[in-house]
């Protein structure tokens, strides 16, 4: 007979579940029980597959990464690794590929968080970055050095929606013998599958379209096993773990990903067209527009009629005009992030790219008034009406 304390801790024998649950179970546990000292040693040494500690690996988190890898590569060759955020995924990827003295080539139009990581953090450890015009293939090629460890890109640049020439950039990286890694957050596997165009590593902030409901934070990297093992090691060593509850929410979002993104991209094209026709607007960035410099490239690389669901509008009148537009919004929410069911907008220079000074913003093609609009699932006509009225008096 065991005591009350022992019975309270261990409980009765667990009942076996013979039927497969329709929804995968959430392994909300920090640690796992193994059968013997030898099995524990073998699992820790990698001689036997298994689970030990959720900072290292967790079945729920890994199942999410596996599902994303399957979306990115239906052949099942690519593998995935889960992370606590998109920036954790980017950080671990770059740390896995670089050492002190390494060099990175990245586009000028890189996400502000990635720019800050490269310039404020990795630079402290002797990792140097050359920011170049990613649309100028000769400039990219000329920026490479013997110590270049990775070519970085974004399928759709944040917030200019510039489209990366994935096949051409992949060839440049292959010729140099270095990996080509891209941030595909703005596209999602519904719009573009970069691995099919020669890319080596695909990074997502799963917080955005993959989760899709603005209620979970996570990241994922997809690519070949050899590179992902290096990236996993950095994840384990740095503790950039994706919690199982977050992973379960993100996994739920994957089921509706094609439906949501298709609707959002369709609405975004309608919104972009309406804004581009308004004389109060200096520029609209969305690849669906024939006036966008990468319209034809997007048609070649992306799924038919899908051009992404972010529209960047720069009203005439400078920084004050952009901030005033934000303040006039009624339906669209003043909130950061993107990819959720609710449309959101931010003034780019003072939020997502606040780490960049005016010179760097200009080099990245970001106007002082730039407002990034993440299109949700509202009716297109309602979004158009709100954004047009937010432009104010002409």
Residues with Cβ within 8 Å of residue 195, at least 6 apart in sequence: 72, 73, 78, 202, 222, 223
Best CA proximity match to 194, nearest among 166, 229, 174, 157: 166
Alpha-carbon span 266 to 97, nearest angstrom: 37
Active site residue 208: yes
| Residue of 165, 193, 200, 208 marked active site | 208
| Residue of 55, 252, 293, 299 marked active site | 55
Active site residue 55: yes
Report the run of H or E that residue 4 belongs to, with start and end. Answer: helix 4-10
Alpha-carbon span 360 to 382, nearest angstrom: 35
| Residue of 27, 73, 111, 260 marked active site | 111
Angstrom distances, CA of residue 284 to CA of 87, 161, 167, 191, 295: 27, 10, 26, 20, 13
Spatial contact of 218 and 207, defined as CB atoms under 8 Å apart:
yes
DSSP-assigned letter for residue 12? S
Structure tokens at 39: 């099995």
Q: How many residues does the chain have?
A: 394
> Which residues in 111-121 are b (16+ Cβ under 10 Å) and which e?
bbbbbbbbbee
Torsion of the alpha carbons at 312, 219, 252 and 56, rounded to the nearest 10 = -170
Best CA proximity match to 150, nearest among 123, 110, 181, 108: 181
Active site residue 285: no
| Residue of 66, 73, 183, 294 marked active site | 183
Alpha-carbon span 178 to 191, nearest angstrom: 26
Cα of 257 vs its chain's centroid, Å: 14
Spatial contact of 378 and 331, defined as CB atoms under 8 Å apart:
yes
Active site residue 111: yes
Helices (H), 76-179: 86-97, 112-116, 137-143, 166-176
Q: Which residues are catalytic?
A: 55, 111, 183, 208
């Amino acid at each position: 007979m065991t005591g009350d304390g022992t019975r309270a801790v261990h409980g009765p024998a667990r009942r076996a579940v013979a039927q497969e649950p329709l929804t995968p179970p959430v392994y909300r546990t920090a640690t796992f029980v193994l059968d013997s000292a030898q099995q524990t040693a073998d699992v820790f040494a990698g001689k036997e597959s298994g689970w030990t500690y959720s900072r290292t690996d967790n079945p729920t988190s890994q199942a999410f990464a596996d599902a994303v890898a399957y979306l990115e590569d239906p052949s099942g060759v690519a593998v995935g690794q889960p992370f606590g955020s998109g920036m954790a995924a980017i950080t671990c990827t770059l740390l896995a590929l670089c050492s002190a003295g390494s060099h990175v080539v990245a586009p000028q139009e890189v996400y502000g968080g990635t720019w800050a990581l490269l310039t404020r953090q990795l630079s402290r450890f002797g990792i140097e970055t050359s920011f170049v015009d990613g649309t100028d293939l000769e400039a990219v090629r000329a920026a490479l050095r013997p110590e270049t460890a990775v070519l970085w890109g974004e399928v759709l640049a944040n917030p200019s929606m510039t489209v990366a020439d994935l096949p051409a950039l992949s060839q440049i990286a292959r010729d140099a013998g270095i990996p080509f890694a891209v941030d595909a957050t703005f596209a999602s596997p519904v719009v573009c599958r970069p691995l099919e165009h020669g890319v080596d590593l695909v990074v997502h902030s799963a917080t955005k379209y993959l989760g899709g409901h603005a209620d979970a934070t996570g990241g994922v990297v997809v690519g070949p096993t050899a590179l992902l093992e290096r990236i996993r090691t950095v994840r384990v060593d740095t503790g950039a773990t994706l919690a199982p509850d977050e992973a379960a929410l993100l996994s739920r979002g994957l089921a509706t990903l094609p439906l949501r993104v298709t609707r959002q991209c369709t609405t975004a094209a309608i919104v972009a067209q309406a804004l581009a026709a308004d004389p109060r607007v200096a520029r609209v960035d969305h690849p669906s527009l024939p006036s966008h410099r990468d319209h034809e490239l997007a048609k070649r690389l992306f799924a038919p009629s899908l051009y992404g669901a972010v529209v960047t509008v720069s009203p005439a009148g400078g920084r004050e005009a952009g901030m005033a537009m934000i303040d006039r919004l009624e339906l669209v929410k003043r909130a950061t992030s993107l990819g959720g069911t609710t449309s959101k907008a931010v003034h780019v220079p003072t939020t997502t790219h606040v780490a960049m000074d005016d010179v760097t913003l200009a080099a990245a093609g970001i106007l002082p008034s730039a407002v990034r609009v993440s299109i949700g699932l509202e009716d297109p006509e309602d979004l158009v009406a709100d954004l047009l009225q937010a432009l104010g008096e002409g």
